[in-house]
Structure 1
Amino acid sequence: MTPDILGRFRIPAFSVWRGRFSSSVGDLVSDRRTDRWKSILLIVASFACGRIAWSGEVLLLPLAVVFPLLWARASSRSIAAFVAAGYFLAASRGLPQGVGNFYATALWPGFLLWAAASVSFIGVHATVWTGRDDFSSGTKVSELPRAIRYLLAMVLTGLPPFGITGWAHPLTAAGVLFPGWGWRGLGATAILVVLMTGRRWQIAVAILAGLYVWSATNWTPPKLAAGWMAVDLKQGGTLGRDGSLASQRDLIDTVRKGAEAGDDVRVAVLPESALGFWTPTVARVWQEGLRGSNLTVIAGAAVIDSRGYDNVMVALSTDAANVLYRERMPVPGSMWQPWLRWTGQGGAARADFFGNPVVEVNGIRIAPLICYEQLIVWPVLQSMLHSPEVIVAVGNGWWTENTSIVAIQKASVSAWSRLFGLPVVMAFNT
């Protein structure tokens, strides 16, 4: 009778244990499947976020503020890295085609540069990521460490060395969300971005939506500087490569005719590389060509020596011709190649880090930005610390054909101009 009694008790107990075990395994498998789909959706959403925010339309920039939310919702460090990769690669998608155009070669070198450029952005965001739960200690992670970590990520990707490739920075959206607020608007945007990483992200999204609707409804383009004229050119890859005096005189005629057709134009701005190599002969030709006018011309050129070259802006008038500004951050890889200098080869563009953030033309303080400097954060913010009166942005975008790179540059400059309430002059060659 005893075995029968034991059987009656043991078999049901084993059945209950087996049922509970099966249920736990089923729940675990279900949770893993759910996490997998959530992770896939986060990566897809981050790609869409980067693609749309950085499409070249200034009013779409606030969508970049959603990226920190997607990053914070990642279930692991590896998923956070994939989320960062999706956002960055989508935002910089024009790079492979642009590199192919620049070097007149296949797309694969561009894909290699594209991947290399993403390493710092992805690495920073993967390193500072922290989960919602600390499974090693069994305790909950408070929101403060995560907020501090993302704040650190913003600083690191905004400043050198990581900020050298710090494209698609969410803080660029400050000019759309808080136009005219200046540094206060930048701080408010940083707070909003940090809130996106916390448990009350729904409130942050609601605030973002409200600010966006208000800004989009009341948006006005950046104002132009009175008495300034931008001379856009469509000379493609030939700009600056024809060193003949006839070419320089044709450019002078274009500038003078444009100034005469304008309203009291005193300063004309030409694109990056417009003058080609900067020499005493080029300076004299322009001074003679401007004789009889009160016009000052700001134009892009290259100053060459035995060690390499500087990508510069020069200022020309009948009375003077001098280098106005040396580019702080040339395009990494194609222009700025520090390894050549380290190995004693030379020949690449020099980076004048943190040099000449503000220069003066006709008594007006300007914030100069050449090409690549318009895609990253620290050059413009450094210039704003010195209270400029006008933003002057130039570029030579012929190599960006079939991409949105020039449009993104213009959108970024427009956003910074609106944030600080400054007039802007933009001159591009395409």
Structure 2
Amino acid sequence: MLIAVSVACGWIAWSGHVLALPVAVLFPALWEMSPSRLTAVLVSAGYFLAASRGLPQGVANFYAADLWPGLLLWVAASLSFAGVHAALWKGQPKGQVSGKGRPGMGRAARYLAAGMLMGVPPLGITGWAHPLIATGVLFPGWGWWGLGAMTAGLAMMTSRYWPAAAIVLGGFWLWSAATWTSPNLLEGWKGVDLEQGEKLGRNGSLDYHRDLIATVLVAASVKTRFIVLPESALGFWTPTVARLWQQGLRGSELTVITGAAVLDASGYDNVIVGISADRARVLYSERMPVPVSMWQPWRAWTGQGGGARANFFGNPVVEVDGGRIAPLICYEQLILWPVLQSMLHSPTAIVATGNGWWTEGTSIVAIQKASVIAWAKLFGLPVATAFNT
């Protein structure tokens, strides 16, 4: 029963609907109720596998292969989550009745340690489906106080007082759902979603770039000063591409914020660039590219080179037009530390981009968008997004 409920918890919470995210707060209670370490492993694995169920299909789409590589990666990625929670699980002392005199502080500390380990590198690299992401739904506008309240609530869910904690958190959830509004859009900014599939950024022709420039100019309105395009929209970032875009924007006041790749002999950086008629520059290098498909550190270890570089704790905020934006590219929207690191620098907005063509048939892009909305609501920040599907 615990395993079945854990699977349902992961499935519902990470369905791509932002108001469903708080279902994830049930996981700590299910983990704590496990009567054995094996059950704790299965409860943890069930939650994680259900939450990340889109991965096998996504990997199959990305590599144009069958489901087996995706299934292997899916299971392998679950091992760190299940392993950490199994290692930190502790059973009841012999002769003790479940729910009576539990060492609540010790159990809570163990769960919080597991949450911390899955929130920061190295284990946090695959720290998807973290219950803390739901904080923005339960405590919108509370900022860091909300994170503190959520952390306390998750800790309480591992104690014998979990029913009371569940009722309190459920009350916040109902109140939030009844009064829910979408995050404010970033004033003067407009995100442009594209539907170019895997072709996006892979065609470096003049016609491709001219068509994209035309799309930008058509999308702009009188009040629009910034246009956001998806991850990888420009393909490789070169001086020629920069000049072409600057010429295309001549005569307008627009600045285009878009994705590209900066290539060198050892690999590439997945970046966000800013382009206006009089300036073109790299604004941000992705801190955590998608593991395996983009970030392949073993290539450097074996002297092969190639793959995307992970900048881990680099450039958490970017100065744009006197404001500080928190940039989040694709995979960074699914994990914890890039967002929290950016929030430590008091940004004035969130700008999120993604290239989700490979997620067709899954809810991955919807989960990314739900996560961005939850963070924006928690810290009361406006948001601009652009995704390619």
2:247 aligns to what SS in structure 1? Answer: helix
Contact 2:272 2:285 in 1 (8 A): yes
2 CA distance for matches of 1:237 and 1:343? 29
- Match of residue 153 from structure 2: 192
Work out which of the residue numbers 58, 67, 78 in structure 2 matches 1:107: 67
2 CA distance for matches of 1:135 and 1:384? 46
Q: Deviations over 1:267-315 (max 9, x none)?
A: 1100000000000000000000000011100100001111001000001
In structure 2, give the amino acid aligned to 1:249: R
Distance 1:206 1:349, change over 3 A: same
1:426 corresponds to 2:376: no
Work out which of the residue numbers 101, 109, 129 in structure 1 matches 2:89: 129
Structure with bigger gyration radius: 1
Cα displacement (A) at 1:142: 1.3
Q: Deviations over 1:51-99 (max 9, x none)?
A: 0000000000000000000000000111101000000000000000000
1:207 corresponds to 2:165: no
2 CA distance for matches of 1:390 and 1:140? 46
Q: Deviations over 1:395-421 (max 9, x none)?
A: 000000000000000000000000000
- Match of residue 48 from structure 1: 8
1:366 corresponds to 2:322: no
1:298 corresponds to 2:257: yes
In structure 1, give the amino acid aligned to 2:67: L
Q: Give the alignment's Cα RMSD to 1 decimal.
A: 1.2
1:317 corresponds to 2:252: no
Query: Which structure is higher in helix share?
Result: 1
- Match of residue 306 from structure 2: 347
**Equivalent residues in 2 for 1:213-224 (5 A)?**
213-224=174-185
- Match of residue 337 from structure 2: 378
2 CA distance for matches of 1:145 and 1:247? 59
Cα displacement (A) at 1:123: 0.8
Unaligned runs of 5+ in 2: none
- Match of residue 269 from structure 1: 228
1 CA distance for matches of 2:342 and 2:94? 42
1:219 aligns to what SS in structure 2? Answer: coil
In structure 1, give the amino acid aligned to 2:329: I
Cα displacement (A) at 1:319: 1.2
1:283 corresponds to 2:283: no
Distance 1:157 1:236, change over 3 A: same
2 CA distance for matches of 1:134 and 1:384? 45
- Match of residue 212 from structure 2: 251
Percent of matched pairs sharing the same residue = 68
2 CA distance for matches of 1:161 and 1:198? 28
Work out which of the residue numbers 43, 47, 53 in structure 2 matches 1:87: 47
2 CA distance for matches of 1:420 and 1:197? 26
Structure 1 segments of 4+ aligned residues over 3 angstroms from their partners = none
2 CA distance for matches of 1:311 and 1:371? 10
Work out which of the residue numbers 187, 208, 227 in structure 2 matches 1:226: 187
1 CA distance for matches of 2:386 and 2:76? 29
Q: How many residues align?
A: 386
2 CA distance for matches of 1:318 and 1:346? 35
Contact 1:227 1:263 in 2 (8 A): no
1:352 aligns to what SS in structure 2? Answer: coil
2 CA distance for matches of 1:402 and 1:68? 30
* TM, length-normalised to structure 1: 0.89
Q: Deviations over 1:313-369 (max 9, x none)?
A: 001011111111000000011100100000000111000010000011112110000
Cα displacement (A) at 1:119: 1.3
- Match of residue 395 from structure 1: 354
1:176 corresponds to 2:137: yes
Structure with larger RCO (C-alpha < 8 A, sep 6+): 2
2 CA distance for matches of 1:360 and 1:246? 32
Q: Deviations over 1:108-143 (max 9, x none)?
A: 00001101111111111001011232569xx96511
1:133 aligns to what SS in structure 2? Answer: coil
1 CA distance for matches of 2:280 and 2:95? 66
Cα displacement (A) at 1:205: 1.0
Contact 2:209 2:234 in 1 (8 A): yes
Distance 1:135 1:342, change over 3 A: farther
- Match of residue 110 from structure 2: 149
Contact 1:134 1:140 in 2 (8 A): no
Work out which of the residue numbers 86, 90, 96 in structure 1 matches 2:56: 96
Contact 1:50 1:91 in 2 (8 A): yes
2 CA distance for matches of 1:140 and 1:193? 19
2 CA distance for matches of 1:93 and 1:134? 37
Contact 1:131 1:141 in 2 (8 A): no
Unaligned runs of 5+ in 1: 1-40
Contact 1:132 1:140 in 2 (8 A): no
In structure 2, give the amino acid aligned to 1:291: R
Cα displacement (A) at 1:386: 0.2
* TM, length-normalised to structure 2: 0.98
